Amino acid sequence: MKGYVLGLLTLVFWASDVWSAPWESLIEVRTEHHLQDVVALRHWFHANPELGNREFNTSARIAQELKDLGFDDVKEGIAHTGVVGMLRGGRPGPTVALRADMDALPVKEKTGLPFASTVTTLWGGVETGVMHACGHDAHMAILLGVARVLSDMRAEIPGTVMFVFQPAEEGPPLDEEGGAELMLKEGIFRGADRPGAVFGLHVFPGPTGSIMYRPNGFMAASDYLELEVEGVQTHGSMPWGGVDPIAAAAQVVNSLQTVVSRQMDISKAPAVVTIGTIAGGNRGNIISDRVLMTGTIRTLDPQMQTEIHERVRNTATAAAATMNATAKVTIDVGYPVTVNDPKLTQEMSQVLNWASDGAASIVPPVMGAEDFSYLAMEVPGLFFALGVLPDPGDDRVVGVNHSPYFFVNDRALPVGIRALSGLALNWLQSNVE
């Protein structure tokens, strides 16, 4: 009887050229049908995390899942460990891409979950835990859920769905390339299968099942900042005999806080300059000759990004000079701003609202960064956030992304599946020539 109902829904669904209730019904039925498997996949990914460019077991599992679903092409080893699978529909049409990231973080898990990670690794020469502390386990499981849902409907799909499983979103190991940028370099968006749009999501601590998005700049550009303050080494009892780079570094740190708060028009767009590490000296009675600091610069406006880089350099060197020290400033440009195509976002907002049962909303920009930005620079993109907080009454300790207490509520997974499935189908049907 269920098969008959599904077949009837399919016929009704594809008889329409617009987003309609039968589309929704079919996706909902298939999502519920596959949900148990999706949850099991999420727990497996969570218990078996791997760092960027080292997602060997993760990518092997994903590739096998896609092959078992009968995908036409499953390419492995892209950008080291990436996987791209092509689901070709039974009707002619364009190509749309869906993306999920795969890598975990060097974080020792403290959630106490029965499927918590016990994996350890050497990071910076120190043994540490490995954890899906940013929810990439959920992203992979959701996208494999979408693969299941759309595979059930493939005979009527007007076009092709490209499933992109990307390594190293958190950044590749030192002296390696990786992530979305490398996948593009290796040609995933070139040729006959070049997609006309790309969609992706990220889980965040928000009400479970809610969806948050924003047209235009949604997530910030992220640039790496390194400052080397050089002085003159001397005995700690005779500071006048040298130049103290630690005191100079303190002046630099304080002065850098004025770049955003006093030198930039933040009514135009928010920005952040943060110093995250300071290292200098090796003995309490020695004034060292240098201090090394690292940090991050986050911006949402390209013009402001360029201006802040210049002001950081000028401010740091001037502050150090007041103490007779020198400052060498190095800025490595990282991920660009994640921009949601405004036209695409407007067109697809109804899908997000349906998938979340009316809990979709436009939110202020997020100062975190995402290399989905590279994909959205190549073709029109839409990236959104999915809330995954515990249910009301669940008093467990929960942290933000990258915390050892980061938590994903499995009840949010079907919302993500419905959203990405609906976005892909609606875009394909809307763009059939």
Domains along the sequence of the chain with CATH: 2-220+337-430 (3.40.630.10), 221-332 (3.30.70.360)
Q: Burial of 343 by CB count in 10 Å (0-12 exposed, 13-18 middle, 19+ buried)?
A: exposed
* Token pair listed for 225: 């900042």
Question: What is the rounded distance in angstroms from the CA atom of residue 396 to the CA atom of residue 110?
Answer: 11
Average of per-residue pLDDT values in the chain: 94
Q: Which sign, positive or negative, has the C-alpha torsion 378, 61, 420, 432?
A: positive
Question: What is the rounded distance in angstroms from the CA atom of residue 257 to the CA atom of residue 264?
Answer: 11
Question: Which pLDDT tens digit goes with each residue over 247-292?
Answer: 999 999 999 999 999 999 999 999 999 999 999 999 999 999 999 9
Block mean pLDDT (10 aa), the chain, length 433:
39 41 85 98 98 98 98 96 97 98 98 98 92 98 98 95 98 95 98 97 97 97 98 96 97 97 94 97 96 98 95 98 98 96 98 98 96 98 98 94 98 98 96 88
Strands (E), 267-323: 271-280, 286-287, 290-299
> Among residues 95, 284, 82, 245, which one has the least CA distance to residue 178?
82
Predicted model pTM: 0.91
Indicate the SS3 state at residue 41.
Answer: helix
- Other CB atoms within a 10 A radius of the CB of residue 181 amount to 19
